[in-house]
Amino acid sequence: MTLLEIFPSLRSGMPSPRVDTSVWPCETHYDDLGRITVGGVALADIADQYGTPAYVLDETEVRRRCQAYRKHFPDAEIIYAAKALMTKSVARWISQEGLSVDVCSAGELAIALAADVDPQRIVLHGTGKPFCELEAAVAAGVGRIVIDSLTEVTLLAALATKPQQVLLRLSPDIDVHGHPAVRTGVTDQKFGLPLGSAQADEAIARIMRHPNLKLVGLHCHLGSQIHEADFYGEAVRRMVAEMARIRRDYDVTLTELDLGGGHAVAYRCGDAEMNLAELADIVDDSLDAACALNHFPRPHIAMEPGRAIVAHAGVTLYRVMAVKHIEGGRTYVIVDGGMNDNPRVALYGARYDAVVANRHPTGPHMTATVAGRYCEAGDILAADVSLPADLRPGEVLAIPCTGAYHHSLASSYNGVGRPPIVAVHEGRCHEVLRRETPADLLSRDLG
Ligand code: LLP
């Protein structure tokens, strides 16, 4: 036994080995009782006060990530992809840090507007945007709309009674080799139109013909969890070449190039992450080269990170409900959440770490699988993780890196409402989104 294990209080104020900052928010420490604190608040206290499961969101970490983007890309527009996590508080924090917002539905648009985001700094995305959502976006005066299909050109042509800036989403045929569900840069997928295709050409021609549709640039989004910056360099080369071709054919110089999001974060210690300094260098160099080669003026770059802004700011808390040692099988730690609040394991085979948050684990460890409460065998949160062998029902487990695509993908399967989001900041916490209750579920049921 080490001294630190005998006197856990020695760790007070120190980042602990249980909580690696490549996965946890920077402001993660232990308190005198050996409990994990985030943003100066003990996770066990949050579990007691707001119940479990609960999403904890560290405001400082969200702001820190925004600032990192502003620092590495001082000349680019950083557009937060709201699909990762959207609440009024998040929209406020990221706008205060100088980011724009990408929304992909009338719901996300409504939240951005309710948070007083400047409509000019809102970009509307989405494949298959319903007419009424395009109408709401045009009426709100959103800065740009990213056109995804020929039909959208027709719908927008009918709606735009005053000038509306638009981008065209193209797939540049770049394969980032991710999970098929999140590989969007290849030609054979549903988003945008293939670069160089007859349909893309037709869309450009139709937009150009419309007096109120102002094509200002091109957009591409290569996929998710990309840690090799070179893919973005290749996207720059292909997209700038296309912008030069458009100038030759239509005598119009597009000034914006939106490279989408998809920057990887580490979900567990040792996972590869996107290095922003390297990405900035590669984008810069490839822009220089591509613009020189095509004699094209440097376009204004935009990027749309979602996950890289909020993932590490989030930690989900669960209460242990039961520990089952299956003879000849695994040990299952059953918790009071699961696939409703984190469907990413079932959807993409994502892997997470889980740790006990309410005490310092001093004794031996066991290998266990953290499973959820829902009526599906695939409702697993973390397979084969190391947990204290004496873990008991009632203890609090925390799963880090759950700020992105957790609440936004959550469901109310089995009639269990979505968890609250509790924001922490400089030693204080407050609920920014309350728990969904049976009364909420009933309020939609018209009988
Ligand atoms: N821009 C566009 C047009 C997008 O479609 C997306 C994500 C982003 C930006 C932001 O990508 P990010 O930087 O967050 O990777 N549910 C999946 C992720 C789906 C991403 C869809 N589009 C997951 O949980 O991994």
86 lies in some domain: yes
Q: Which domain holds residue 355?
A: 3-57+312-442
Indicate the top mutation candidate among 167, 221, 271 to test ligand 1's pocket, ranked by most ligand atoms within 8 A of CB: 221
Residues 293 and 402 in one domain: no
Any domain includes 63: no
Atom of ligand 1 nearest to the CA of 263: 13
Average pLDDT, the chain: 94
Ligand 1 atom at minimum distance from 264 CA? 15
User: Are 37 and 123 in a shared domain?
Assistant: no
| Domain identity same for 134 and 266 | yes
Is there a domain that residue 230 lies in? Answer: yes
Identify whether residues 158 and 274 lie together within a single domain: yes
Q: Based on the domain organization, do 116 and 49 belong to the same domain?
A: no
- The C-alpha atoms of residue 221 and residue 302 are separated, in whole angstroms, by 11
Domain boundary at 273, 304, 335, which? 304
Average pLDDT of the segment spanning 128-152: 97
Instruction: Please tell me the pTM assigned to this model.
Output: 0.95
- State whether 323 and 297 are in the same domain: no
The alpha-carbon radius of gyration of the chain (Å, integer) is 23
Domain identity same for 396 and 370: yes
Confirm whether residue 332 is marked as ligand binding: no
Which residues have CB under 8 Å from 27's CB, separation 6+? Answer: 38, 39, 40, 58, 60, 61
Residue 188 buriedness (CB in 10 A; 0-12 / 13-18 / 19+):
exposed
Do 33 and 153 fall into the same domain? no
Site to probe by mutation for ligand 1, drawn from 226, 259, 271, 304 as the one with most ligand atoms within 8 Å of Cβ, is 304
- The residue contributing the CA closest to ligand 1 atom 21 is 182
Q: How many domains does the chain have?
A: 2
| Model confidence pLDDT, tens digit, residues 357-366 | 999 998 999 9
Tell whether 379 is covered by a domain: yes
pLDDT tens across 190-240, in order? Answer: 889 999 999 999 999 999 999 999 999 999 999 999 999 999 999 999 999
**Ligand 1 atom index nearest CA of 306:** 14
Domain end position, chosen among 271, 304, 337: 304
Q: Is the dihedral of CA 207, 213, 217, 218 positive or negative?
A: negative
Residue 435 structure tokens: 């728990």
Residue 106 to residue 82: CA distance in whole angstroms: 12
Last-in-domain residue among 278, 304, 330: 304
CATH number assigned to the domain comprising residue 361: 2.40.37.10
List, for residues 403-436, the tens digit of each pLDDT value: 999 999 999 999 999 999 999 999 999 999 999 9
- Give the distance between the most distant pair of CA atoms in the chain: 76
Preceding amide of 53 cis, omega within 30: yes
Q: Are residues 146 and 173 in the same domain?
A: yes
Catalytic residues: 375
Rounded distance from Cα 261 to ligand 1 centre (Å) = 6
CATH code at 144?
3.20.20.10
Q: Report the distance separating Cα 237 and Cα 222, nearest Å.
A: 14
* One domain for residues 249 and 274: yes
Percent of the chain with pLDDT over 90: 91
The reply to whether 110 falls in a domain is yes
**What would the DSSP string read from start to end of 326-352?**
-TTS-EEEEES--TTT-THHHHH----
CA–centroid distance, 229 to ligand 1, in Å, is 16
Contacts of 280 (CB under 8 A, 6+ apart): 72, 73
Q: Which residues contact 423 (CB under 8 A, 6 or more apart)?
A: 56, 57, 58, 59, 89, 429, 430, 431, 432
Sign for the pseudo-dihedral over CA of 269, 273, 276, 278 = positive
Q: Which atom of ligand 1 is nearest to the CA of 344?
A: 24
Going from the Cα of 230 to the center of ligand 1, the distance in angstroms, rounded, reads 19
Q: Indicate whether 447 belongs to any domain.
A: no
Helical axes 198-209 vs 150-159, angle rounded to 10°? 10
**Separation CA 218–CA 243 (nearest Å):** 8
262 is in an annotated binding site: yes
- Looking at residue 420, what DSSP letter applies? P
pLDDT the model gives residue 181: 62
Measure the N-to-C terminal CA separation of the chain; round to a whole number of Å: 62
Residue 64 domain-assigned (yes or no): no
Q: How far is the CA of 307 from the centre of ligand 1 (A)?
A: 7
Which residues have C-beta atoms less than 6 Å from ligand 1? 81, 83-84, 102, 125, 182, 221, 224, 260-263, 304-308, 344, 348, 404-405, 409
Backbone angles phi, psi at 236, to 5 degrees: -60, -45
What pLDDT does residue 179 have?
65
For residue 424, give Cα distances in angstroms to 7, 99, 104, 407, 447.
Answer: 27, 21, 27, 16, 39
pLDDT at res. 189: 80
Distance, CA 306 to ligand 1 centroid (Å)? 7
Gap between the Cα atoms of 112 and 419, Å rounded: 21
In this structure, are 43 and 103 located in the same domain? Answer: no
Q: Dump pLDDT digits (tens) for 110-131.
A: 999 999 999 999 999 999 999 9
- Band of pLDDT at residue 182, cut at 50, 70 and 90: low
pLDDT of residue 2: 44
pLDDT in tens, 281-308: 999 999 999 999 999 999 999 999 999 9
Statement to judge: residues 345 and 418 lie in one domain: yes
Angle formed at CA 363 by CA 367 and CA 369, multiple of 5 degrees: 20
**Residue 375 domain-assigned?**
yes
